[in-house]
Amino acid sequence: MRHIEILAFEDAQLLDVTGPLQVFTSANEEAFAAGQPRPYNAIAVAMNGQTGTTSGLTLATALLPQDDEPIDTLMVAGGVGVNKACEETALVNWIRRRSASARRIASVCSGAFLLAEAGLLDGRRAVTHWNRCREFSKRFPNVRLEPDPIFIQDGNIWTSAGVTAGIDLALALVEADLGRKLALAVARELVVFLKRPGGQAQFSTMLSLQESGDRFDRLHGWIIDNLRADLSLPALAEQANMSARSFSRHYRQATGRTPARAVEDIRVEAVRRLLEQGLSVRQARIRCGFGSEETMRRSFLRAFGTTPQAFRDHFG
């Protein structure tokens, strides 16, 4: 049985702890149902017996084990309390010592900060939550940070992106340990992808556009309803009741992207939704107003890290 410890701390992200725990628990259930021994003993550990999380729930955790106690995998959660946790010398030293006994080490979300603080990521590829990449790079310049992957394995150290990526990471660990068939059974039980496409940069286009305020909300709604129409700069400016030059300048100031790039992003996201619903690549292209399949393919690949046909084959 593989012993897994998931490290929590005050103001950790609850799902960073419970998401992977559920994956390993479900793996035990699937293995037992198949007449196999339960493969995991996964527990949450912390410096104290009770640990508060940002959700308001308090976790009952085991105390930090001794350095020489048997361990297979050490996972470190993230959360808004990670910066304070990095200042706790005793905790960082425990991570450094405990990792020496572990077969592999992993972090969820901003838990990468604690691994980096312990010196475990120097010279290695790593990922963390997209919103903290700039802070991480400035603080740990010796780490080869990559902002987009859902998770990264470099040797025996695995790091993952934001929050729910801890579930993706745990599924990958189960697949590495027990094979694709059992990992897929766990993913199906939890109703998640075994391997979701693209990277963490694929958060909703419309949500990101809404961050700019409501000035162009009506225009964005019109674009969504008219994806096959003329969405050139003059046409959009006319809809916004502005000159083309003024519209282009004000739109970029408000959204941080050009009108042409926004139209492309909205169309690509619409294509993704249609492919998930089972439409063919050609049908999705026509409905979303792409002039050619090659143009759509390049845009889709840039946004999601995979081609429309590959996406449809896996997730349609």
Asked if 111 and 166 count as a contact pair (C-beta separation under 8 A), the reply is no
How open is the CA angle 261-279-199, to the nearest 5 degrees?
45
pLDDT of residue 203: 52
CA distance 128 to 217: 31
Helices (H) and strands (E) in the chain, counts: 15, 11
CA-to-CA separations, 80 to 15, 262, 309, in angstroms, rounded: 13, 31, 39
% the chain with pLDDT above 90: 75
Distance of alpha carbon 38 from alpha carbon 201, whole angstroms: 36
pLDDT tens string 165-187: 999 999 999 999 999 899 999 99
Q: Which long-range contacts (CB under 8 A, 24 or more apart) does 40-43 make?
A: 40/1, 40/2, 40/4, 41/1, 41/2, 41/3, 41/4, 42/3, 42/4, 42/5, 42/6, 43/4, 43/5, 43/6
Examine the pLDDT at 266 and tell me if it is beyond 70. Answer: yes
Q: What is the mean pLDDT of the chain?
A: 91
Q: What is the pLDDT of residue 162?
A: 83
Q: Which residue has the higher pLDDT, 256 or 86?
A: 86
Q: What is the pLDDT of residues 40-55, one digit of tens each?
A: 999 999 999 899 999 9
pLDDT, residue 198, reads: 57
Q: Which uninterrupted H or E stretch holds 97?
A: helix 89-101
Residue with the bigger pLDDT between 64 and 191: it is 64
Cα gap 46→117, rounded to integer Å = 17
pLDDT at 201 over 90: no
Q: What is the pLDDT of residue 276?
A: 79
**pLDDT number for residue 197:** 57
Average of pLDDT values for 95-113? 97
Query: Strand, helix or coil at 77?
Result: coil
Mean pLDDT of 273-288: 91
Q: How far apart are CA 74 and CA 63, in angstroms?
A: 14
Q: In this structure, what token pair is assigned to residue 2?
A: 């593989």
The pLDDT value given to residue 194 = 74
Categorize the per-residue pLDDT at 213 as very low, low, confident or very high, splitting at 50, 70 and 90: low
Mean pLDDT of 61-76: 95
pLDDT of 37 reads 96
Q: Residue 25 corresponds to which tokens in the numbers above?
A: 């628990």
pLDDT value for 302: 87
Of residues 7 and 206, more confidence is placed in 7
| pLDDT confidence bin for 196, thresholds 50/70/90 | low
Model-level pTM?
Answer: 0.69
Q: Rounded to whole angstroms, how far apart are CA atoms 172 and 181?
A: 12
Looking at per-residue pLDDT, the higher value among 291 and 273 belongs to: 291
CB–CB of 5/76 below 8 Å? no
Residue with tokens 């959660």: 77
pLDDT of residue 212: 58
pLDDT for res 67: 86
Please name which of 2, 8, 4, 5 lies closest in space to residue 114, comparing C-alpha atoms: 8
Asked if the model's pLDDT at residue 306 lies above 60, the reply is yes
Average pLDDT over residues 8-20: 97
CA distance 77 to 45: 10
Q: pLDDT tens digit string along 106-162? A: 999 999 999 999 999 999 999 999 888 889 999 999 999 987 788 999 999 999 998
Greatest pairwise CA separation for the chain in angstroms: 71
The lowest-confidence range among 78-82, 123-127, 208-212, 263-267 is: 208-212
